[in-house]
Amino acid sequence: MFRSLQKTVLNPFFQALVVAVLFIWFVPLGLKKYYAKEVEVRTAFDKTQFLFTDLDHDGVSERIHTFINYAGNTGFCIRKGDNALGQWNYRGIWQPKTNRLMIGDYNKNGRDEIYLFTVINDSVMLHAVEYDIRPDPFINDRFIAKVGKSLQDPDIMIFPGKVTDMTGDGVGDLVFAINAGFSKYPRNVFIYDIVEDSLIISPASGAYINLNHNPWLYDLNNDGFDEILLHTYAADNFMTTPVPYSDSSAWLMVLDHKLNFLFPPVEFPGSTGSISIFPLKSSDGTVMIWGKHNHNNPFIENSLMFLADLNGSIIKEKWFSKDDPFFHIGGFSYHENKILNYGENIGFFQIDETLKITKINNIALSLRYPTFLDIDQDGMNEILLLKPGHQKHQILRNDFSHPVDLDFPIQDESIVFSVKLNGNNPPQLSVQGDQVWKLFDYGINPVYRFRIFIYLGIYLVVLGFITLIRQLYAIQLKKRYETERKIAGLQLASVKTQMEPHFIFNVINSIGSSIYQEKKDEAYNLVLRFSNMVRYLLSSSDQLYRTLHDEIEFVKNFLEMEKQRFPELFDYSLTLADDVDQEMTVPKMIIQLHAENAVKHGFRTRETGGFLEINMQKDKEHLVITVKDNGIGRQAASKISGQSTGKGMKILMQLFETYNKHNPIPLKQEVLDLTDHNGQPAGTMVKVMVPLEFNKEIF
């Protein structure tokens, strides 16, 4: 089994697969199924917004441009393509952090109207323009409500709802809400009957309402009319002032289509408490009200999640202690008829009719309300989130898959997302902040269709690379093997050359002769020097190098034994400069071979008077070794029969050639034939230059 596993792991096809998978997994290749690309950007906006919507339902969006005019009042214009269809200016100001416009078709003529609210001093006013070739303003300065006094400018929030039939006359009515802060009034839901030019207002209430959640209009009892689910907060602005449904408590409140309470409001006491409610359809089709009562007060030890029927009765509840992670999760949304709960950096949870909480994913997001918008017009909403750090948004598909980043940081709470329809061309996403507007292409990545071929290409490239590496490694191994074989041969040859059988035979004979003649000291010296030579030879037998000290000692022993055999034949001197390091490494035989050649060949015809001079000194980059003799010279020696074939010199040259492949400064050798003043041969001089930084490693 181990061999089978080893065979698989070493298989280049398997190795390439592993590397390709890791590369694809960790290296961004731009092969996500969906992409978002910034195609247009405008900056330096000042209280200006772009909103795209298809007012005439022809498949091409118009652009509504809202702004503050030079007089400090509100205005907007409509553009279709490059053409401006009109501009309208109104007294009053926009309210910050609220949607500026509502879009709807109250008379069902296929052309939408544009509704907007302004605040003039202490009054909320309604205006409307119907889209046409020449858009028609048909509501101007319609008084809606008076705003209470505050410590500063009116601190109201206007929550646009939608245009839907709430009066049963077959045409649409305008549903919206207004919530005041320290101004206290109004805190109501309004229905404006456009045909009758009349207002229906919800009962007087101090309940602080916050309708940033969607939906807050939903047909709970299936009667064909929307009910209104109010999200309330105990802001405690009224304090001791008596008011119906005081904001010192949070309230479970639902209004019917006539703006009467669907059931008597249910009180949840305690300031800083909040009630968030959504419709929840059970498995049998029954619609219930899901709610969660949270507190911002750190001293409150629990929170409550509950289900209520349409009579306001709590039919199921679930308490959470402060130690429960769900206690601290306060983001709620409604998506695909499901209650979604989310927490910053911990992902989304789904809640069912049994109040069971199921984690959906671990998507990291900031605690801002997600936006649900059908960007690609496929009939399903995409999900837009603000990422942690508030520097980017993210688009996810309807099922939270295929995340795509949008390079758009949070600037204010009034970011406006809209879809720009382009007829037969793909729609685009418009993102508007308080200082920057950007337009993005969004859709299926065209490269994604070819991902299999790209992955296959990556695999083949990796396979080719691995195959090339294996081939280069095989070549390297072959060269290494050949080098090792060559080195082994050189090692063996160097051993044979340094102590050839003839030399050994002569030394043994000399030792025997000395013993026979009872020359004990001479025999002892011969044995000692011979043993030293053998020791130096054996200690470096597996190497092609030795220290300069060992080379010198080997040569000394050789020369002394030769002198003992032929006392009158020659003499020698060995000079070493003071700055030469004897521990430096040199190739074997680099001195010994030339000294031996001088004795064996240069002094061959002499009986006396031979002299061998060996000098070692340094220059800038080399150890310079000079071996000089006064022998008969190379030419005369070569003519004498029985002379050496030069095998030792060939081995040394092969050794130089091998080492020079691994040394930036090469080993060099020069051989000079010396002559006397008459031009006759007078010996031989060999100069060897060894780099001071000699690299003895061959591999």
Rounded-to-5 percentages of helix, strand, coil across the chain: 25, 35, 40
- Estimate to the nearest angstrom the gap between the alpha carbon of 148 and the chain centroid: 54
Average predicted confidence (pLDDT) for the chain:
84
Which residues share a beta bridge with 176?
A: 160, 190
| Extended beta strands in 91-155, E state | 101-104, 113-120, 123-130, 136-146
pLDDT score of 58: 94
Tell me which range, 189-193, 397-401, 483-487, 679-683, is most confidently predicted by mean pLDDT: 189-193
Answer yes or no: is 278 within a domain: no
Secondary structure (DSSP) of 353-398: TT--EEE-------SS--EEE-SS-SSS-EEEEEPTTSS-EEEE-T
> H or E stretch including 669?
strand 668-675
CA nearest to 316, candidates 331, 330, 306: 306
Tokens of 90: 């109104």
Answer yes or no: is 491 within a domain: no
CA nearest to 499, candidates 586, 561, 572: 561
Answer yes or no: is 569 within a domain: yes
**CATH of residue 630:** 3.30.565.10
- Residue holding tokens 């017009």? 377
Report the largest interatomic distance among the alpha carbons of the chain, rounded to a whole angstrom.
150
Between 27-41, 334-348, 563-577, 634-648, the lowest mean confidence (pLDDT) is in: 634-648
pLDDT of 650 higher than 90: no
Q: Which long-range contacts (CB under 8 A, 24 or more apart) does 202-206 make?
A: 202/228, 202/255, 202/259, 203/244, 203/259, 203/260, 203/261, 204/243, 204/244, 205/243, 205/244, 205/245, 205/251, 205/253, 206/237, 206/238, 206/243, 206/244, 206/245, 206/246, 206/247
> Count of CB atoms within 10 A of residue 168's CB?
11
CA nearest to 187, candidates 109, 117, 124: 124
Between 119-128, 279-288, 405-414, the lowest mean confidence (pLDDT) is in: 405-414
pLDDT of 522 higher than 80: no
pLDDT of 362 higher than 50: yes
Distance linking the first and last C-alpha atoms of the chain: 35
pLDDT of 368 higher than 80: no
> Count of CB atoms within 10 A of residue 11's CB?
11
Tokens of 375: 């960007």
Contact status, residue 382 vs residue 374, Cβ threshold 8 Å? yes
pLDDT of 204 higher than 90: yes
Residue pLDDT, tens place only, 386-426? 888 888 899 999 988 999 999 988 766 668 899 999 999 99
Tokens of 46: 């000042």
Contact status, residue 64 vs residue 114, Cβ threshold 8 Å? yes
pLDDT score of 487: 54
Between 71-75, 89-93, 558-562, the lowest mean confidence (pLDDT) is in: 558-562
> H or E stretch including 340?
strand 338-343
User: Residue 606: which domain range?
Assistant: 541-691
Burial 112-149 (b: 16+ CB within 10 A, else e): bbbbbbbbeeebbbbbbbbbeeebeeebeebebbebbe
- 639's CB contacts (< 8 A; 6+ apart) are none
Between 284-288, 303-307, 647-651, 675-679, the lowest mean confidence (pLDDT) is in: 647-651
Contact status, residue 174 vs residue 106, Cβ threshold 8 Å? yes
pLDDT of 614 higher than 80: yes
Rounded to an integer, the average pLDDT of 582-608 is 84
**Which DSSP symbol is given to 6?**
H
pLDDT of 653 higher than 90: no
Residue pLDDT, tens place only, 284-300? 889 999 999 988 777 77
pLDDT of 202 higher than 50: yes
Contact status, residue 565 vs residue 510, Cβ threshold 8 Å? yes
pLDDT score of 644: 56
| Number of domain units in the chain | 1
Between 219-233, 442-456, 583-597, 643-657, the lowest mean confidence (pLDDT) is in: 643-657
**Which DSSP symbol is given to 511?**
H
pLDDT band at 539 (very low <50, low <70, confident <90, very high): low
> Count of CB atoms within 10 A of residue 511's CB?
19
CA dihedral 435, 384, 165, 147 (to 10 degrees): -40
Contact status, residue 112 vs residue 128, Cβ threshold 8 Å? no
- Estimate to the nearest angstrom the gap between the alpha carbon of 89 and the chain centroid: 49
Answer yes or no: is 587 within a domain: yes
Vertex 228: Cα angle to 369 and 200 (nearest 5): 125
pLDDT band at 1 (very low <50, low <70, confident <90, very high): low
Answer yes or no: is 98 within a domain: no
Higher pLDDT, 638 or 550: 550
> In Å, what is the CA distance from 11 to each residue of 14, 19, 467?
5, 13, 10
Residue 614 and residue 619: Cα distance in Å, rounded?
16
**Which DSSP symbol is given to 601?**
I
**Which DSSP symbol is given to 325?**
G
Burial 348-367 (b: 16+ CB within 10 A, else e): bbebebebebeeeeebebbe
Helices (H) and strands (E) in the chain, counts: 9, 41
pLDDT score of 470: 80
Rounded to an integer, the average pLDDT of 485-504 is 53
Tokens of 250: 């949070």
pLDDT score of 493: 52
Cβ-based burial of 372 (10 A; exposed 0-12, middle 13-18, buried ≥19): middle
Specify the pTM.
0.68
Tell me which range, 94-103, 116-125, 493-502, 507-516, is most confidently predicted by mean pLDDT: 116-125
Vertex 292: Cα angle to 286 and 297 (nearest 5): 170
Residue 391 and residue 40: Cα distance in Å, rounded?
18
pLDDT band at 492 (very low <50, low <70, confident <90, very high): very low
**Which DSSP symbol is given to 416?**
E
pLDDT score of 26: 78
Answer yes or no: is 675 within a domain: yes
pLDDT of 430 higher than 60: yes
pLDDT score of 302: 83
pLDDT band at 138 (very low <50, low <70, confident <90, very high): very high
> In Å, what is the CA distance from 197 to each residue of 173, 174, 477, 526, 677?
10, 11, 95, 135, 137
Residue 656 and residue 668: Cα distance in Å, rounded?
8
Is residue 437 classed as helix, strand or coil in its secondary structure? strand
Rounded to an integer, the average pLDDT of 105-111 is 94
pLDDT of 645 higher than 60: no
Between 58-67, 192-201, 216-225, 638-647, the lowest mean confidence (pLDDT) is in: 638-647
Answer yes or no: is 104 within a domain: no
Which residues share a beta bridge with 547?
A: 585
Instruction: Kindly report whether the peptide bond that precedes residue 186 is cis, defined as omega within 30 degrees of 0.
Output: yes
What length does the chain have? 699
pLDDT score of 44: 64
CA dihedral 232, 235, 240, 241 (to 10 degrees): -60
Residue pLDDT, tens place only, 262-276? 999 999 998 888 999
pLDDT score of 685: 92
Higher pLDDT, 70 or 4: 70
Answer yes or no: is 698 within a domain: no
Residue 576 and residue 614: Cα distance in Å, rounded?
8
